[in-house]
Amino acid sequence: MRRIRVRLRRAVARIRRIRVRVRWTVRLRLTLLYGALFLVSGAALLIITYVLVAGSGTPQLFVSSRIGSNVLFQRLDPEVVRRFMGNRAAEQRQAMLGQLLTQSAIALGLMSAVSVALGWLMAGRALRPVRTMADKARRISERNLHERLAVPGPDDELKDLGDTIDDLLSRLGAAFGAQKRFAANASHELRTPLTLQRAMIEVALADPAADAESLRRVCERVLAAGEHQERLIEALLMLARSERGLDRREPVDLVRAAGNVLGDGGPEEPRVEVCLAPAATSGDPRLVERLAANLVGNARRHNLPGGWVRVSTGTVRGRPFLRVVNSGPEIPPDRIDALFEPFRRLESRTGSPQGHGLGLSIVSAVAAVHDADLTAEPGPEGGLDITVAFPRASR
């Protein structure tokens, strides 16, 4: 429960940090990007226009009749007049080009400022859905994990971000609900033996005619309840250890792990059929052996009189596997996944001498920490057909 709360707080804090960064950094970057693109494109347009105007050649000279009738021009050599007029035209052309360049640069600067302002507004408008998502995410806590961002609009990057956060909240809600159920069930499982022990001791002490034999029987029942409680606590510790992760990986032989847990069954035990082919993987040998022990123990415990259990190992497509199939009561396919949750049993929720409801939960946790694929389906004659495909052995 505490770990889920910490994960939830970290997720909400991460979303808040995303909100702050998106609101300022991303908006500023988009604005600068818009302004830079406009400035570059405007400068390119200005250069192209200047080059085209400058390379258009010398303009034609048109001499008005008033200038042509001037006495001074009539006395001068026509070649001198032509040269003078050409120089004047060239000077005017250079002045016009300089004026064009100056005015265009001023216009480009003004339009760049306008584009930056418009880019700031458009970036804010484009990022408005992100602010809306951040505001909704800020209001979501462990008390209202059922709420979602539900971002409307077309399928773009922002909607994909909103859907990703919704999926994250869904997974957190499911994990938080599972932890709450686990805590409630664990407290119930631990409280029941304590209540039973207290009741037996109080009844024995309240009986004035109690003798040594009756007190001895009460003590034996109290010890039996204590042993049941110890097994439950050991299973809870194993479940917590399997969910913690692997510190290091060692070579693991599935044939050896399965062979160590088979043992000799009693006369009333279901017969065990074994087919063990070489299957080498890597991981924690003790956890893998506990996985095999829980699978075989579960197959033996939940069986029918005269039933059977098949245990096989091997390699399929390069991946080693451990498969356990048993006969037993028929299990609806829609209830198989629930059996891998802590304290979930097919018959009832409360504890029983047949188990604590943690065996398959430990199997699922060990498979997950070893990156193994766990598949379960109804067996051919009732019961379960469970296969755990481990990754290839690491060198």
Judge contact between 252 and 278, C-beta under 8 A: no
Place of tokens 């950094």: 25
Confidence band for 190, pLDDT divided at 50, 70 and 90: confident
Same domain assignment for residues 235 and 336: no
Same domain assignment for residues 223 and 256: no
Same domain assignment for residues 256 and 224: no
Residue 156 DSSP SS3: coil
pLDDT of residue 378: 92
pLDDT of residue 352: 46
Q: State both tokens at 99.
A: 């004026």
Which pairs count as long-range contacts for 180-187, CB under 8 Å and 24+ apart, including other chains? 180/1, 181/341, 181/342, 181/343, 182/1, 182/342, 182/343, 183/1, 185/342, 185/343, 185/349, 185/357, 186/236, 186/342, 186/343
Confidence band for 59, pLDDT divided at 50, 70 and 90: low
Which stretch of DSSP H or E encloses residue 189? helix 157-206
Domain-located, residue 46: yes
Q: For residue 203, what is the domain's CATH number?
A: 1.10.287.130
**C-alpha span between 77 and 117 (Å, rounded):** 60
Same domain assignment for residues 240 and 308: no
pLDDT of residue 18: 56
What are the distances in angstroms from CA 255 to CA 9, 210, 289, 318?
Answer: 44, 54, 10, 16
pLDDT higher than 70, residue 275: yes
Give pLDDT tens digits for 88-131. Answer: 777 777 788 788 788 878 887 888 888 888 778 777 777 777 77
Same domain assignment for residues 230 and 270: no
Judge contact between 229 and 190, C-beta under 8 A: yes
Of all residues in the chain, the percent with pLDDT exceeding 70 is 81
Listed in sequence order, the residues at least 6 apart from 150 whose beta carbon sits closer than 8 Å to its beta carbon are: 162, 166
pLDDT of residue 266: 62
Give pLDDT tens digits for 27-55. Answer: 777 788 877 888 888 888 878 877 777 77
**Total structural domains in the chain?**
3
C-alpha 349: how far from chain center: 31
Beta-strand ranges (E) seen in the chain are: 250-253, 271-276, 280-283, 308-316, 319-326, 373-378, 384-389
Q: State both tokens at 147.
A: 């709420």
Looking at 114, 139, 164, the residue that finishes a domain is 139
Residue 366 DSSP SS3: helix
Looking at 198, 221, 244, the residue that finishes a domain is 244
Judge contact between 379 and 325, C-beta under 8 A: yes
Count the helix, strand and coil residues of the chain and give each as a percent rounded to the nearest 5: 65, 10, 25
pLDDT higher than 90, residue 312: yes
Domain-located, residue 155: no
**C-alpha span between 235 and 228 (Å, rounded):** 11
Domain-located, residue 156: no
Same domain assignment for residues 258 and 239: no
Of all residues in the chain, the percent with pLDDT exceeding 90 is 14
pLDDT higher than 70, residue 4: no
Average pLDDT over residues 206-225: 85
Give pLDDT tens digits for 10-21. Answer: 665 665 555 555
Same domain assignment for residues 178 and 103: no
Same domain assignment for residues 375 and 328: yes
Mean pLDDT of the chain: 78
Closest CA to 180 of 215, 142, 210: 142
Q: For residue 324, what is the domain's CATH number?
A: 3.30.565.10
Same domain assignment for residues 255 and 351: yes
Dihedral over alpha carbons 43, 44, 46, 50 (to 10 degrees)? 140
Domain that holds residue 107: 2-139
Same domain assignment for residues 384 and 260: yes
Looking at 244, 268, 291, the residue that finishes a domain is 244
pLDDT higher than 80, residue 289: yes
pLDDT of residue 319: 92
Average pLDDT over residues 291-313: 90
pLDDT of residue 348: 45
Same domain assignment for residues 220 and 279: no
Domain-located, residue 70: yes
Domain-located, residue 32: yes
Q: Which pTM value belongs to this model?
A: 0.56
pLDDT of residue 202: 86
Q: CA torsion sign, 355 to 361 to 367 to 370? A: negative
Q: Mean pLDDT lowest for which of 74-88, 182-196, 314-328?
A: 74-88
pLDDT of residue 65: 45
Domain-located, residue 167: no
pLDDT higher than 50, residue 350: no
Domain-located, residue 150: no
Same domain assignment for residues 180 and 302: no
Give pLDDT tens digits for 76-90. Answer: 566 776 777 777 777
Judge contact between 335 and 346, C-beta under 8 A: yes
Domain-located, residue 365: yes
Dihedral over alpha carbons 120, 121, 125, 131 (to 10 degrees)? 60
**C-alpha span between 32 and 26 (Å, rounded):** 10
- Of these ranges, 135-149, 157-171, 174-188, the one predicted with the greatest mean pLDDT is 157-171
Output DSSP code: residue 341. Answer: S
pLDDT of residue 323: 95
Place of tokens 């802590």: 342
Listed in sequence order, the residues at least 6 apart from 300 whose beta carbon sits closer than 8 Å to its beta carbon are: 265, 269, 270, 272, 309, 326
Q: State both tokens at 346.
A: 């097919």
